[in-house]
Amino acid sequence: MPKLDLFQFTPFRINRLAAEISAALSSEYRDRYGIDIPEWRVLATLGFRQEPCTAQYVVDCTRTHKSTISRAVTNLLRQRIVERVENEQDRREFALQLTAKGTALYEEMIPRMLRREQDILSCLSARDRKSLDAMLGKLERSLDLVQGKIPQASRKAGN
Amino acid sequence: MPKLDLFQFTPFRINRLAAEISAALSSEYRDRYGIDIPEWRVLATLGFRQEPCTAQYVVDCTRTHKSTISRAVTNLLRQRIVERVENEQDRREFALQLTAKGTALYEEMIPRMLRREQDILSCLSARDRKSLDAMLGKLERSLDLVQGKIPQASRKAGN
DNA sequence: GTGAGATAGTTGCATTTGAGACTATATCAA
DNA sequence: TTGATATAGTCTCAAATGCAACTATCTCAC
C-alpha cells in the first residue's frame, strides 16, 4: 500500500512553514502599525518601486486577488498612506504612490522587517542561504512566478 | 533610504510559493474528490498513521486550528470516509480512523499526490532536493515545527 | 471525595477571502 | 463610426477561517 508521510511531503512542509513565518512577521506590522498582509504588500510594492504604479501592477507582483488589493488600497487611501491620481491617458486606471506619511511609515517599517527576516534565517549559514535562495529561484521559475512576467506598469502609469 | 525588494524578501517568496503549490495540488483533491485542504490533512494523517488517533493529534501534526479540524472531521464522518469511536478510558475524546471507503480513497489519492509533488520538484536535481530538504528541516526546527513536539496520541487513543 | 484547573471537541460570531458580476473605459477591426 | 472584445477597478455574495465561549470530562492537590 502506498503511503505518504505528511512530514516529508514537500508541499505540506512548505505550506506549514509559510504559515508560521507569516504569523511571525505579521505580528510586526499588525500589532505595531495596524497594517494587515494585503496592505503590507501594497506598501512594500509602492515603496520599493519609487514610481507610481497601478493596483493591477501590485496584483501581478504579489499574486494577490484583485479584490483583495482593491480593498487594501481603499484602506490605505483612507489612512492617507497612499494617494492616487487618475491616469489621463487611460481613465480606467489610477497611479498609486505613497504619501509623505506612507513613505515615513515605509522607512520605519523596512529595517524592522529585514531584521525579522534575518531572525528567521539565522538558523542558516551563509552557504545555506545561498542554497535556499537558489532552490526558491528554481521553483519560482518552474511555477512561472518570475519577475519577468510582470508588466512594466510604470510606462503606462508613470507618464 | 532602506529598501526592501519583495521579490528578494524570503518570507514573501516562501508565502507566494506555498500559495502556488497549494493551488496546484488542491485542484487534484478538490476537483476530483471533493476534498478540501483541511479534509485532506485529516485523511493524510489518519492514512499514514495506521492506528486510530484523536482530532487533537491531527491538530498537533498539521498545525491547523482545532475548529477547522473539527469541521473537517464532521464532513468526513458525514461522507463515511472516517469513523470514530468514543474512548472508554477518556470520554472527552474519540478515536478516529478511516473507513473501508476512506482507505480506498486514500490509496487512490496518494499516488496521484506523490506524482504531483514530483512534478513540482522536477525542476530540481537530486542534489537540489536534498539541499531543499535540509533547508526546510533547519527552518522547521528553528521555528519549533518539529515532529518531536507531537504527542504519541496512539497510546491514549489506540487502547 | 471535592474543587480548581486542564483538556477534547463543538459551536456561534465576526472577519477575511475569492469568485464573479458589474461599470466604465480602451482597443481594434470592419 | 460602430460593434466586439479586453482591461482596471469596485462591489456583492457566499464560503472559509480564527477566536473565544461553551460543554463535558479528566486530573490532581488537598
Residue of higher predicted confidence among A1 and A140? A140
In a domain, A42, yes or no: yes
Question: Does B44 sit within 8 Å of A6, measured CB to CB?
Answer: yes
Confidence at residue A138, expressed as pLDDT on a 0 to 100 scale: 95
Which chain A residue is nearest to residue B141, measuring alpha carbons? A123
CA A10 to chain B, closest CA, distance in angstroms equals 7
Strand C at less than 7 A from CB of A30: no
Confidence at residue B147, expressed as pLDDT on a 0 to 100 scale: 57
d(CA B148, CA A13): 15
pLDDT over 60 at A150, yes or no: no
Q: How many domains does chain B have?
A: 1
In a domain, B2, yes or no: no
Domain that holds residue B130: 10-158
Interface of B with A in 52-71 (CB under 8 A): 61-63
Mean pLDDT, chain A, integer: 89
Which uninterrupted H or E stretch holds B66?
helix B66-78
Question: Does A111 sit within 8 Å of B2, measured CB to CB?
Answer: yes
Q: Which residues in chain A touch residue B24, judged by CB atoms under 8 angstroms apart?
A: 143
CATH number at residue A118: 1.10.10.10
In a domain, B134, yes or no: yes
> 532536493: which residue's cell?
B129
- What integer is the mean pLDDT of B126-136? 96
d(CA B10, CA B143): 15
In a domain, B1, yes or no: no
The percent of chain A in helix, strand and coil, each rounded to the nearest 5, is: 70, 5, 25
Question: Does A141 sit within 8 Å of B4, measured CB to CB?
Answer: no
Strand D at less than 7 A from CB of B91: yes
d(CA B2, CA A47): 10
Confidence at residue B31, expressed as pLDDT on a 0 to 100 scale: 85
**Per-residue pLDDT reduced to its tens digit, B97-122:** 999 999 999 999 999 999 999 999 99
Confidence at residue A147, expressed as pLDDT on a 0 to 100 scale: 56
